[in-house]
A and B are shown apart, each in its own frame.
Chain A
Amino acid sequence: MEGLKLELKEKIIENLNLEDVSIDEIGNNDPLFGDGLGLDSIDALELIVMLDKDYGIKLSDPKEGKKIFESIEVMAAYIAEHREK
């Protein structure tokens, strides 16, 4: 699971062009949206595409993302349970 969390941090920084953010700055329980990393609605869509492309997880309801993308910890747990790739 720790490997997956690290992988997610790397993918988020790369896919969302967070050039000023390092892996060490993203805590496992930090909120990804709002006061945390400050991601926006386009970032949320990008994360949905990332789940599909890299882990074979299709979110039928984009609103599910709000809970799944709460933090790296929550995201990793969801991916570990639902991944197809």
Chain B
Amino acid sequence: MNTQYYIQSYCKIKEACITLNDTLVFEDQNNEPKSFFKNAYKNLELKYAKFFKMDNLSKLSFLGAEFLLQDNENDAESNTAIVLSNKASSLDTDRKHQDSIQDKANYFPSPAIFVYTLPNIAIGEISIRHQLKSENAFFVFDTFNAEFLCNYASVLLDKKKAKSVLCGWVDVDNENYEGFMYLVSRNGKIKHTIKELTNIYQK
């Protein structure tokens, strides 16, 4: 890893607030995930009806990506890889699916819920929205793993698998949610290091 990369921008979504590079960009009175994500989406004034069909993990990831990739004029050619991580995987949606098949006498699994019983579907939703056909991976850790993500993103850039990497931690479990997403590239002021990532995450 000889080339110095930078954290171009970062977005935090938690406790009914969204910040972009530490600047508050949206705040809501309602911290319940479904309502908060819906209100944040409405605030963006987007026309993307598929948002409402997503599970909460995908909605959280989608919102973070919207803020970080909004200046990418030509997403399809940007070659932005996506590397996300969390603790709960897709457990929040897995439980909903389990509920729909728990009772053998009332066995009606929902196809619309079932398709979200994998965490990397969140990456798929971002890729569809921004027309990305890039490298991607989703990892499950107990906590935000700055060292792993830093190394993984740097390897993707070093090996020229991508020109930028959308990384982060997107965790949803029942009423709890936390999003920390950031864009790594050759542009920016904050060095892409384990120390800086840890500092930003813990701020």
CB pair A46 B110 closer than 8 Å: yes
Measured between beta carbons, the chain A residues less than 8 angstroms from B115 are: 42
> Which of the four size classes fits the interface of chain A?
10 to 19
- Inter-chain contacts of B112 with A (CB < 8 A): 15-17, 42-43, 45-46
Q: Do the beta carbons of A49 and B109 come within 8 Å of each other?
A: yes
Contact of A18 with B110 in the complex, beta carbons under 8 Å = no
Within 8 Å CB of A70, what residues of B? Answer: none
On chain B, which size bracket covers the interface?
10 to 19
A20 touches B111 (CB 8 A): no
Q: Which of B38, B49, B109 has the most CB of A within 10 A?
A: B49
Q: Does B148 contact A (CB under 8 A)?
A: no
Q: Please report which residues of chain B, range 105-131, place their CB below 8 angstroms from some CB of chain A when the two chains form the complex.
A: 108-112, 115
Task: Judge if A34 is at the interface, Cβ distance under 8 Å.
Answer: no
Is A18 a contact of B49 with CB atoms below 8 Å? yes
B110 CB contact (under 8 Å) in A19, A38, A49: A49
Give 6 closest A-B pairs by Cβ, nearest first: A45-B111, A19-B52, A17-B52, A53-B108, A17-B53, A46-B112
Name the contact of A18 in the complex, choosing from B38, B52, B108 (C-beta under 8 A).
B52
Whether A46 lies near B108 (C-beta < 8 A) is no
Chain B contact residues: over half helix, strand or loop, or mixed?
Answer: helix
Per-residue B-contact encoding for A42-74, CB less than 8 Å = 1, 0 else? 110110010011000000000000000000000
Q: In the docked arrangement, what's the CA distance between A75 and B38, Å?
A: 30
Nearest CB in chain A to that of B41: its residue: A19
Contact between chains at A52 and B52 (CB < 8 Å): no
- Whether B110 and A20, one on each chain, are in contact in the complex, defined by CB atoms closer than 8 angstroms, is no
Closest chain-B Cβ to A30's Cβ sits at a distance in Å of 16
Closest to A54 in B: B108
A59 and B163 CA atoms in complex are apart in Å by 48
Taken together as a complex, chains A and B put the C-alpha atoms of A18 and B106 apart, in Å, by 25
In the complex, which residue of chain B has the Cβ closest to the Cβ of A49?
Answer: B108
CA distance A17 to B52 in the complex (A): 6
**Can you show 21 pairs from A to B with CB atoms below 8 A apart?**
A16-B112, A17-B52, A17-B53, A17-B112, A18-B49, A18-B52, A19-B52, A20-B49, A20-B52, A38-B49, A42-B53, A42-B115, A45-B111, A45-B112, A46-B110, A46-B111, A49-B108, A49-B109, A49-B110, A49-B111, A52-B108
Interchain nearest-CB distance for A38 vs B (Å):
7
Known pairs A18-B52, A52-B108; list 6 more (Cβ under 8 Å): A38-B49, A42-B111, A42-B115, A46-B110, A46-B112, A49-B108
**Bound-state Cα–Cα, A19 to B50, Å:** 10
Nearest chain A CB to B107's CB is how many angstroms away?
Answer: 10
